[in-house]
A and B are shown apart, each in its own frame.
Chain A
Amino acid sequence: MWNYTQAVHDHFLHPHNAGPLAGANAVGEVGSLACGDALKLYLKINGQGVIEDAGFETFGCASAIASSSVLTDMVKGKTVDEALKLTNKDIAEALGGLPREKMHCSVMGQEALEAAIRQWKGEPPIPHAQEEGRLVCKCFGVTDAQIIRAVRENGLKTLEEVTNYTKAGGACGDCQDEISQILAAELKQKPLTEIRPRPRMTNVQRMQQILKIIDGEIRPLLAADGGDIELVDVDGRRVVVSLRGRCSQCRSSDVTIRNLVERLLREHVESDLVVEEA
C-alpha cells in the first residue's frame, strides 16, 4: 500500500476542477494508455496572459489524479510566464510529497502545463518522441532532454531515481545503460566549466589506449570469474574482442561484452566505440 499524504487522498477523492473546461483556449495532452497514465489539461487564458480557469481529465492512479487536481489550483490566477516557472517539485510539494515511485506523476503535470501554454502561444504541439532531443526510452517515449531536465531540477543521482521521475528504463530496461551514461555525464558536469570535446584519436593512439584499458581494467575483472579477453581487431570505432577461459562458455557473454567491456572502453577511451565478439 502506498503511503499517500492526506492531501493526495483529498485531491484524489474530491478532485478540484475535474472534467473538460468549457471555453478553454489552451489544451495540453501528455502520456498515453500504453504508459498507464495520461493527462489532458485545459486552460482558459485571457488577453493579458493570465490563466483564468483550468480543468483536467486524467487516466491514472491516485497520485496522477491528485497531481492534476492540485496543478489546476496552482495555475489559476497566474500569468503564463509565472506558470511556466512551476516545476514538478512544486506540484509534489503542494501535495505534501509523493512516494518516490510516483514522482513521474508530478512530472506529467508539469509537461501538460508546458504543452498547453505552447499551444496557446501558437508553438507547434511537439509530441514526446521528438521533443528537443533524442528518444532514449522507447517503451515510455522519454527523450534525453526530458531525462536531463528531471535530473537537474530534482537533483537525481541514480538510475532508479530517473526511472521514478520519468519512467524511463522502467519497462524492458534496454535503455538503462544509456540513461546511466546521461546521468554520469550530468553528474560530472560542473556548472560554468567549459566542456571541450575530447580531441579525436589516431588509430594507433586508440589501439594503445584500448589495450591499456583491457590489460589494466577489464582483464582483472574477468579473471576473478576464471575468464580472459583478447583484443582481435580495431577497425575505426569497431572493437573486436574474443572472450577466453570460462567466459567463452558463458551464456551471458553478450551481457559481459555490452555491460562491462563496452562500458569501460566507452568511459575511458571514446564514447562511441562499439564492441563486438569475434
Chain B
Amino acid sequence: MEIRYFDNNATSAVAPEVLEAMLPYLSDFYGNPSSMYAFAARAADGIDQARSRVAALLGANPEEIIFTSCGSESDNTAIFSALQAQPDKRHLITTRVEHSAILNTAQYWERQGCRVTYLNVDDRGRLDQEQYLQALGDDTALVSIMFANNEVGNIYPIQRMAEAARERGVLFHTDAVQAVGKTPIDLSHMPVDMLSLSGHKIHAPKGIGVLYVRRGVRFRPFLRGGHQERGRRAGTENVPYIVGLGKAAQLATEHLQEERIAVARLRDRLEQGIMAGVPDCIVNGDTENRLPNTSNISFKNVEGEAILLMLDRLGICASSGSACTSGSLEPSHVLRAMGVPFNYAHGSVRLSLSRYTTEEDVDYVTEHLPDVIKTLRAISPYKD
C-alpha cells in the first residue's frame, strides 16, 4: 500500500540530495575534525560549509551557529544559558502553547525557584500581547516564544515581541523548529538573541539541531567538555549529520519562496476538500496567520485515535491532539489553552504537508476521510 505522508510536523523525509551529501562523510571522510592532518580537515571543511549554509538560511553569521543534537537540546541550552549567565534574574516568560521541550524545562526551573509567566492565548491561539508587555520586568532573564506552533501552525509576531524585549534589555529566544524552512526568517533584521532549529523537520535526518546565539550575547554551555563549537557545545561533532543539515538548509534557502506558495495551495485544497465533504468540523488556529503546510481540523463527536487508526488502514499518516493518542488522559494542551470545546478537542486531526506532498495524495485524503468520519459517527452516542 502506498504511504500518504501527512505528518511532516512530526518528522520529514530525508531529502535525496541530503542523503547524497552525507554519504561520503559516513564512509570516506571519517576523520575527527579536531585532528591536525589534512585528512581530518576534510571533515572540518564539511562542517564549515554546513555552518555557512545554515547561517545563510537564517540571515546570521556562521560563528553564531552552534550545532546540537536536536531541537530539545537547543531549547534546554537557551534557557540554561540565560539563567546561568544572569544569576540575578529569576523570571522567565513563555507561553501555554509551547512544545514540551520548553514547557517541561520551564517547569523544571520553576521547581528550582524561578518564576515563570505562561502567556495565554485566545480561541484562535493568538498570544495575549498585553499580558506579555506587562510581564516583562527587570527580573526577566529570558523570553522564550515559539516562532510557529507545531499543532495548529500559528505564526507568532516574533519581530514585534523580540523588539519589546530588546527595549527592556531582556534576552529573547525563539523555538523555531516548526518555522524554519516554512516561513522566511531573517535574523539580520530581527532582534532575536537565540533561536532553536531541528534538522529532521526540514528534510535532514533526526539527531541534529542548531542553537543560534547572537554575537555578543553572554553564553554558558549546557554540555561541558571539549573545545568543540568554540567551547560552546562539547562533544565530537556529528560530521555526517551536520553536513546533511547544511545541505537541507541550502535546499530550504533556494526553494523557500516557491515552496511556500505550492505547499499552501495544496494545504488549502486539502482543507477545503475536507470541509466540503464532512459536516460539523472546524479548522483550529489562526487561519490568517499560520504555516503554509499545517492544517488542524476537529471533527465533532468522534475521537482522534479512532480516526488515525482508520486512516492508517488506508496508508494515510497523520496525528491527533486527542488524549488517547498520547497516553495522557487529556486532549492537547494547545487546544485546551485555546478553549476548544471537548466535543471538538478530542476529535482533532493534524495534517502537515511538505514539498513532497502531491495533489494525488491530497485528493486521496479528501476522498476517503469523509467515510471514516461517517463510520465513526454512526456508532457514536453523540449525534448533535
Contact = CB atoms under 8 A, between A and B. Distances in A.
A80 B305 CA distance: 33
B306 A65 contact: yes
A227 interface: no
Contacts of A39: 381
Interface in B76-99: none
Interface in B301-347: 301-306, 309-310, 313, 322-325, 327-331, 342-343, 346
A33 B346 contact: yes
B378 to A, nearest CB: 7
Interface residues of A, number: 34
A90 interface: no
Contacts of B129: none
Nearest to B379: A18
B306 A13 contact: no
A60 B306 contact: yes
Contacts, number: 78
Contacts of A176: none
B216 interface: no
B382 interface: yes
A36 B329 contact: yes
A38 B328 contact: no
Interface in A43-62: 56-62
B382 A12 contact: no
A38 B382 contact: yes
A47 to B, nearest CB: 28
Interface in A158-176: 163, 167, 170-171
By secondary structure, the A interface counts as mixed
Given A18-B378, A39-B381, A101-B327, A34 B303 contact: no
Contacts of A56: 379
B382 A33 contact: yes
Given A36-B303, A170-B329, A62 B379 contact: no
A163 B323 CA distance: 14
Contact of B330 (A33, A37, A170): A170
A252 B302 CA distance: 40
A29 interface: yes
B113 to A, nearest CB: 5
Interface of A: 2, 12-13, 15, 18-19, 29, 33-34, 36-40, 56-62, 64-65, 101-102, 140, 163, 167, 170-171, 249-252
Closest A-B pairs by Cβ, 6 of them: A170-B329, A61-B324, A61-B305, A57-B381, A40-B381, A18-B379
